[in-house]
Structure 1
Amino acid sequence: MAEKKKRKPGTPGAFSRWTQQKANARMTRKVRGGRGQFMGMDVLILNTVGRRSGQPRETPVAWFADGEGARLIVASGGGSLNPDWHANLMAHPGRATIELPGQEPVPVTPHQLADAEREEAWARITAAQPRLAKYQAKSDRQYPVIRLTTR
């Protein structure tokens, strides 16, 4: 009998991953169909390339306006690890694109915010969506905040 592979602490199990994949696929269909809202937040599709596989990846992500057409996204993902899309984005930043509701993909440049720049952006994000501050308070890691600017 095959031994069950033990997963790392803080990583989701098979059922959680399956549920998330189904929810992501449904949200992706909605965004591509022109509807980009979830729980009162604007949603875009973040297209990245797998850092190890090199395969295309697409993830619906909540976004927040940041001036001249830039957008802020938060790598919350629940749990003690950053979501996979964050590692993929940072590994291949030049291959990232976003899709806004009903629009074609647009190339973007990601920039992970730090220090005062992150704190200022985080204050605006949590003012718009206080639930993110509650999630952050329960986590043992600081959620990365990434600014996406069109190229």
Structure 2
Amino acid sequence: MHRRCRPARRGRSPSPVCAGRSHPDKGQVQMEDRKIDVIAEQLHGEQREAAWLQITLAAPRFAEYQVKTDRELSVIPLPPRTG
């Protein structure tokens, strides 16, 4: 299954991530003029590692962010909600 992953970036408000954790089944993203209902599902363990590898291969600067912090950066895919 293809998933789009977008890591949180420095300088951005954490409120979308917090809202996603509080209401994972009520997320919505906007891509250009389209709004898409999504489910926020934080990845852990091997799933997170595989997604993080994809992210850092596509955008190596995110690997630098991970090195600069003592916490693990969250990876939260936003698959479309069905039904």
Taking structure 2 as the reference length, what is the TM-score of the superposition?
0.83
Aligned-residue Cα RMSD (Å) equals 1.9
Question: Which of structures 1 and 2 has the bigger CA Rg?
Answer: 1
Percent identical residues:
35
The alpha-carbon deviation at position 84 of structure 1 amounts to 2.6
Long gaps (5+) in structure 1 = 1-65
Long gaps (5+) in structure 2 = none
Taking structure 1 as the reference length, what is the TM-score of the superposition?
0.48
Pick from 54, 57, 63 the counterpart of residue 133 of structure 1: 63
Aligned residues: 80
Q: Which residue of 1 aligns with 2:4?
A: 71
Distance in 1 (CA, whole Å) between partners of 2:14 and 2:70 is 14
Q: 1:72 is matched by which residue type in structure 2? A: C
Greater relative CO, 1 or 2 (CA 8 Å, sep 6+): 2
The answer on whether the counterparts of 1:110 and 1:149 sit within 8 Å (CA) in structure 2 is yes
Q: Which residue of 1 aligns with 2:75?
A: 145
- Pick the structure with more strand per residue: 1
Q: Is 1:99 equivalent to 2:38 in the alignment?
A: no
* Secondary structure of 1:74 counterpart: coil
The alpha-carbon deviation at position 135 of structure 1 amounts to 1.1
